Amino acid sequence: GSKVKVDASYLSPHVNLASRLEAATKQFRVPLLMSEDFVKGLTGTTQSNCRRVDSVTFKGSNEPMCIFHYDSEPFDSLAKVKGYDGLEQLLEECKVEDDDYTRIGIEKEEIEKLLSSHKVALARQVYEKGFLLYIDGEWEKSKVVLAMWLRAFPGDHLAHVLLDRIREQG
């Protein structure tokens, strides 16, 4: 021992959060998750490659926290991936007739235009819209938007997980 004692209690919440984030990577099927505070400290360019994943309240915390994923792969690669077991069935469950888009308040043509854009920032707006609808509890709308996203980017684990969660909510 040292004569100088260090109070490491200030580290404990950060270590716990890191552990919780690491455990959540398995649920979201991604290699890395980050807290909102961490993402705020990143450069603007790096932040632009981060997507919100969910709003969660980890054990030991009272406040919900938005968690993020860093998209290290270009979106083009997500478009080329075949997809996952059960994806076709999931997308079939989310299928909406053309006249129902208007009924539920989804601008189908606008979303299709964004998805077909070769500008990643525009296409990402579709995921963000589906995510915000998910956070707001607008399950039917979120399901439709995220399904459109997954048809364009079938390799996206995050949208698949969100759709699975919506399906579990009934």
Task: Determine the pLDDT at residue 83.
Answer: 67
Q: How many residues can be counted in the chain?
A: 170
Between 83 and 57, where is the model more confident?
Answer: 57
pLDDT at position 59 is 83
Model confidence at 168, pLDDT cuts 50, 70, 90, reads confident
Q: Determine the 3-state secondary structure of 69 from DSSP.
A: strand
SS3 helix, strand, coil % of the chain, rounded to 5? 60, 10, 30
